[in-house]
Amino acid sequence: MLLGGPPGKSQLTAFMSAVVSNGGAWPCGEGSTNPGDVIFMSAEDGIQDTIIPRLMAAGANTSRVHIVAAATKPDGTGRKTFSLKTDVDLLEAKAKEIGCVRLIIVDPISAYMGGSDGNGNVETREVLEPLADIANRLRIAVVAVTHLNKGGSGGNQSALNRFAGSIAFVAAARAAFAVIEDPEDDERRLLLQAKNNLGAKCKGLAFRMEQRLVEDDILSSNIFFESDYVSQSIDEALTASESRGSSTAGQTSKDDAAEFLGEVLAQGPRDVLEVEALARAATLLAADRPLRQNKAFRDARKKLGVVAAREGFGPGARYVLSLPGTPCAPKNTMCAPSGDRAHMDNPGAHGENGGSQ
């Protein structure tokens, strides 16, 4: 599998290592794995100060994660950078020695090409084919990490052509995924499929990063996945992410969103789904986005102090939005309670965390 993207993909490989080393479930009910060992090759991050704390933050069984730092020179005189071009037999020997390797992570793949031109199709295939052969024979999943190129002129370059280096990297992989920054949420990342030769098209996922203290009060990062799938296509997400911050026509500003919410909620509380429908009709909100995933609307809600309250419980529950000081009683009610019984001190433990607000 090929995994490309900006910062965030290394946290994802730590998450994969945790799932495999413990034996656990993949996000959103995508299946599970039996416990197994991981060979982790990383050329861009320090082992003690970054990789190990990141694995600990993810909850990995570190005794089953084997970090490869270098290879022994053929003449035995010292160590050298591991090369997939010349040392792939050492990788196979190590996997057999460990005995139960289920995952090999190569991060980034470009650092282990042994001087081969990663932009040349022929040379790239010559390096990757022995690695693919090991994976097939030993039944080990391989995740090769890379970067994404910027979009071409006009921003119409397809996702498959955005992975750094030769197209042979994408061709050799059975599946390819990209980590993409959400243009409307700084803390959110999308995991979207660019290619899959192994089955039906996968649904997109979203995850967020959080800081976590690990052993000896070391601060590291971890990710957690959202429960809902992402409907946005990878090409749409890449285009939107890269035009972030630009003055693209149709991009909703905080002031536009605040003016809209002020007008819509001026007459009283409104169901959040109704507000979203009105925002889409006004071309201020994308068809596949709830308000809570739109940065302009989130900022506008903070600016106006918009209150979200839950009404009811179970499948029939709904969320309503209102401006500060606006009564939260439903419209056109009859026999509504009066006095203290009608006062709501707290919208409930769910508050802003549930529903589609």
Question: Residue 256's pLDDT is what?
Answer: 82
Q: What is the CATH number of domain 2-242?
A: 3.40.50.300
Taking a C-beta distance cutoff of 8 angstroms, is the pair 17, 61 a contact?
A: no
Check pLDDT > 50 for residue 249.
no
Taking a C-beta distance cutoff of 8 angstroms, is the pair 220, 62 a contact?
A: no
Residues 6+ apart with CB under 8 A from 60: 14, 17, 18, 21, 22, 38
Sign, Cα dihedral of 253, 255, 260, 262? positive
Residues 6+ apart with CB under 8 A from 59: 18, 22, 222
3-class SS of residue 225: strand
CA distance 12 to 42: 13
Give the distance between the most distant pair of CA atoms in the chain. Answer: 90
Q: What is the pLDDT of residues 180-207, one digit of tens each?
A: 988 778 788 999 999 888 777 888 999 9
Place of tokens 């050329």: 43
Where do the domains of the chain lie? 2-242, 254-353
3-state SS record for 286-322: CCCCCHHHCHHHHHHHHHHCCEEEEECCHHHCEEEEE
Q: What is the pLDDT of residues 301-333, one digit of tens each?
A: 998 999 888 887 767 778 889 988 654 433 333
Distance of CA 188 to the CA centre of its chain: 7
Q: What is the pLDDT of residues 146-180, one digit of tens each?
A: 888 766 544 556 788 888 777 888 888 889 999 99
Phi-psi region of 8 (alpha: psi -120 to 50; beta: other; left: phi over 0): left
Rg for the chain (alpha carbons), in Å?
25
Tell me the HSE value of 95 on the side-chain side, using a 13 A CA sphere: 25
CA distance 195 to 175: 5
Beta strands in the chain (DSSP E): 2-4, 37-42, 65-68, 71-72, 79-80, 101-107, 141-146, 175-181, 188-196, 205-214, 218-225, 270-271, 307-311, 318-322
The proportion of the chain whose per-residue pLDDT surpasses 70, expressed as a percent, equals 83
Distance of CA 351 to the CA centre of its chain: 25
Question: Residue 329's pLDDT is what?
Answer: 39
Continuous H helices in 100-216: 121-138, 167-172
Distance of CA 191 to the CA centre of its chain: 4
Q: What is the pLDDT of residues 107-128, one digit of tens each?
A: 888 888 887 766 778 888 888 9
CA distance 281 to 98: 59
Query: Higher confidence at residue 248 or residue 98?
Result: 98
Q: What is the CATH number of domain 254-353?
A: 1.10.10
